[in-house]
Amino acid sequence: MNQKVKIFADGADKAAILDLYAKPWISGFTTNPTLMRKAGIRDYEAFARDILSAIPDRPISLEVFADDFCEMERQAHIIRSWADNVYVKIPVTNTRREPSLDLICRLSHSGIKINVTAILTLAQVRDVTQSLAGGAPSCVSVFAGRIADTGIDPMPLMMAAVEMVRTYPNMELIWASPRELLNVVQADQIGCHIITVTNDILKKLDLLGRDLVDYSLDTVKMFYDDACKSGFTL
């Protein structure tokens, strides 16, 4: 791993998280309510405290799950109290399209480390960075993969976001929701601080720099072996 971009594992499976914790090139961890639901988590606090007790020395982002800003704030203070390495994830808006800027400003300037999540536009990046300026260490999480899902190349936006965040020493930019291993290379090339990576993409990391001729041969062998195992005849 020669990349400068920090890799944060994204998931909610305890066994996988602890396995990845043993790998020094995993710099942190993130999760969210959707990943936790997919993993069958029913007790939020018990799961979070369990992971935090096992991983005391790398940043872990845990998300609030309210839609009301007062309740988000209450939850943020509770989550922050569980460990010093916690970043509290706050969505950039609530479900009513109301920006969370006042909340993240208040939380950040009270000393809570914030990860602002679900950002998809440069206007959101601009507003969020201004709200976090001068506060606690924070992350600005841009969902580049979801931008790409709409048919828009996320690279120009992410490059502009890098420049926006560079102005603020207390912030790091996250390339969130990557769709392929190439995104790790792209995030590194543009100077993005962090990329969150799910297990399915992490499994491909050993392919970085692979000789394409050898990879072609392996692909041919795979097709041949599977045809043989299937017993195909004509």
Cα(159)–Cα(155) distance, integer angstroms: 6
Check pLDDT > 90 for residue 97: yes
pLDDT digits (tens, 9 = 90+) for 165-210: 999 999 999 999 999 999 999 999 999 999 999 999 999 999 999 9
Cα(95)–Cα(104) distance, integer angstroms: 16
Q: What single-letter amino acid sits at 7? A: I
What sign results for the dihedral spanned by CA atoms 25, 136, 164, 100?
Answer: positive
Check pLDDT > 70 for residue 1: no
**What pLDDT does 3 receive?**
86
**What pLDDT does 109 receive?**
98
Q: Classify the phi-psi angles of 177: left when phi > 0, otherwise alpha if psi is within -120 to 50, otherwise beta.
A: left
**Helix 155-166 vs helix 182-189: crossing angle, to nearest 10:** 40
**Beta-bridge partner residues of 62:** 88
Per CATH, domain 6-207 is 3.20.20.70: yes
User: Average pLDDT of 155-161?
Assistant: 98
Phi, psi (degrees; rounded to nearest 5) at 116: -85, 120
User: Dihedral through CA 164, CA 71, CA 59, CA 200, nearest 10?
Assistant: -90
Check pLDDT > 70 for residue 113: yes
**Beta-bridge partner residues of 173:** 140
- Cα 123–chain centre separation: 20
Cα(22)–Cα(45) distance, integer angstroms: 23
To the query of whether residue 89 is one of the catalytic residues in this protein, the response is yes
CB proximity list for 43: less than 8 A, separation 6 or greater? none
- Cα 82–chain centre separation: 20
**What pLDDT does 201 receive?**
94
Catalytic residue among 23, 89, 203, 221: 89
Domain limits, the chain = 6-207
Per-residue confidence band for 11, with pLDDT thresholds at 50, 70 and 90: very high
Closest CA to 58 of 39, 78, 83, 32: 83
pTM, 2 dp: 0.94
Tokens of 55: 């991983």
Tokens of 18: 């602890």
Per-residue confidence band for 142, with pLDDT thresholds at 50, 70 and 90: very high
**Beta-bridge partner residues of 140:** 116, 173
